[in-house]
Structure 1
Amino acid sequence: MPINFLKKIIQQEKTVSDDEYWMKKSPSKACVDYIESFYSFYDINSETEHWIFNDGFPAIILFPEKNNKVCIDIDGKENIIKSGWVDAGVIKKAYVRYIENFDYILIVRFRPECFYKLFKLNPSFFKSRNIASLADIDFDIELSNEIFAADSIEKKIDVIESYVKNLIPINTKTGLLNSAIELINQTKGQISVANVIREVGVNYKWLERNFSKHLGFTPKEYIQLQRFLSAYINMYNEPHDLLDIAITNGYYDYNHFLKEFKGFTGKTPIEYISKK
């Protein structure tokens, strides 16, 4: 999702800021194991551009109207996306540019171990693409029509929850995987795969197999995402000492952080900060 939204979600910043207004809504009890939360961001201005990043939690980003459009640039190639998009996996060098004003954007953030089962997607689906349109994942047409026919965010959420309740699989057991994900999140990626295995009480093959099966990437990749996101947020808030930010977040040195930053954004930290 756009990094300016994700940063607020991760930091749980106040809901009203100088430039943006946003709200969080927790899912109903029936959906809490499948949907992390709903987020709505208001007054989206056209001609603004934001880097897109996914922290391992698949998200569906929905526009107010079915015919609303944005331009998404993926490694230099522009794509016009209508209605909304889905992002998951490891996203690199992707930016969204709003080409019209939106009253709001609704984001449905799913728990990673459940998303692929709910929508019957192979976890490797996002290996070959960073971002997908709703049509790419065969998003239910009747559901789409019902969502965009709803005249308020609250009604759209009710439609989505009703649909998800009917999709919930029986006997989904991912307790140990949840524990591994939560541990990595709590440590902000400053933990080795070996320590995750020891703390959770599983072996390496089990951990790698279940990450690949339910999330679509390896434990090491998930750790890297959390570490990088933590470093990015530190850099965004205090951009003056990049070496200290790199070391504090578990990088060997500044060059290690620089290489990863360019891989995700296509820019150096200095270039990114200067255009922020």
Structure 2
Amino acid sequence: MKGKEMVYKSFANKHILGAYLFPCKDLESNQPLFNDGFPSLIFMPRSSDDVILKEKGKIIRLQSAWVCCGVIQDTQWEIPDGLEYIMVLRFNPASFYSIFDIDPLIFQSNPICGFRDIVDETWCSVIDEMYQKESIAEKVSFLDEVFSSCYIENNLPYFLQAAIEHIDEQRGNTTVSDLLKKLGGRINHKWLHRNFVKYLGISPKKYISLQRFIYAYGHCGPEDSADLFDVALNSGYYDYNHFFKDFKQYLGIAPSRYSWA
């Protein structure tokens, strides 16, 4: 989603890369969704809240806690009337799969899943306990304490971390071949592909494409939507048609029809 979010500073544990509160009151009822490829856990305000998504025309119903990872494409969220916010925890991938004992390959076919559908009863009980907390601050404090107590190996392989950092620094304006050269030829294409899929559930080429699109999307808005061609070129796209195809792939709609407000 595009919009202003509140960043929580109170998460001190190394497993969570960021914790955010997204206000939802001013969003349209059918909100296009996309993500950055990293595993994220999303909480609705109440345990009784349902989530209704439309993925390529297919209706998906989830409960109040849901997970996204891999690549979300052509998916809209039917935002309930009066929804105040959602809370999002963005995880270190190695931590996420170790903590919850989840195989990242499940996200290749289902980039959005109900949290309770992919974890054991212990974690379902944790979420039930979190929802018993009344305020957002109490929920955040509880979750921070829970994840801080998880003592597991959470480090990505060195060259995978270096690859991700380089792609992010280049804002996706690179290629797999250039990436391998940047890493000094110390790993090959097969190693890079295998480890991207293992920890992120997507290929390095797809991750590069996604980061380039996120950068371009972040520089579009109501005031400059008429200059999308310039935005696309400045973001590393070789022409507008290239950007148009990515926009349709990720958001399911043409840039000219998208509500930038």
What TM-score does the superposition give when structure 1 sets the normalisation length? 0.84
Q: Matches of 1:173 and 1:47 in 2, distance apart?
A: 37
Gap change, CA 1:77 and 1:180, over 3 Å in 2: same
Displacement after TM superposition at 1:94 (Å): 0.6
Aligned length: 256
Query: Is the Cα–Cα contact under 8 Å of residues 233 and 239 in structure 2 kept in the other structure?
Result: yes
Q: Matches of 2:226 and 2:208 in 1, distance apart?
A: 25
Could you tell me which residue of structure 2 aligns to residue 11 of structure 1? none
Gap change, CA 1:73 and 1:163, over 3 Å in 2: same
Q: Matches of 2:101 and 2:42 in 1, distance apart?
A: 18
Gap change, CA 1:224 and 1:152, over 3 Å in 2: same
1:69 pairs with 2:54: no
Could you tell me which residue of structure 2 aligns to residue 251 of structure 1? 237
Unpaired stretches in structure 2, ≥5 consecutive residues: none
Q: Matches of 2:247 and 2:46 in 1, distance apart?
A: 34
Higher relative contact order (CA 8 A, sep 6+): 2
Gap change, CA 1:24 and 1:171, over 3 Å in 2: closer
Displacement after TM superposition at 1:27 (Å): 5.3
Q: Matches of 1:78 and 1:173 in 2, distance apart?
A: 35
1:128 pairs with 2:109: yes
Gap change, CA 1:66 and 1:255, over 3 Å in 2: same
- RMSD (Å), alpha carbons: 2.2
Q: Matches of 1:134 and 1:113 in 2, distance apart?
A: 17
Gap change, CA 1:41 and 1:264, over 3 Å in 2: closer
DSSP-derived class of the 2:221 partner: helix
DSSP-derived class of the 1:240 partner: helix
For 2:68, give the aligned amino acid.
D
Deviations 1:17-66 (A, max 9, x none): xxxxx42113544x22x211111134636862211101112211101110
Could you tell me which residue of structure 1 aligns to residue 2 of structure 2? 4
Could you tell me which residue of structure 2 aligns to residue 272 of structure 1? 258
Displacement after TM superposition at 1:253 (Å): 1.3
Q: Matches of 1:99 and 1:135 in 2, distance apart?
A: 21
What TM-score does the superposition give when structure 2 sets the normalisation length? 0.88
DSSP-derived class of the 2:209 partner: helix
Displacement after TM superposition at 1:115 (Å): 2.0
Q: Matches of 2:241 and 2:34 in 1, distance apart?
A: 21
Displacement after TM superposition at 1:213 (Å): 1.1
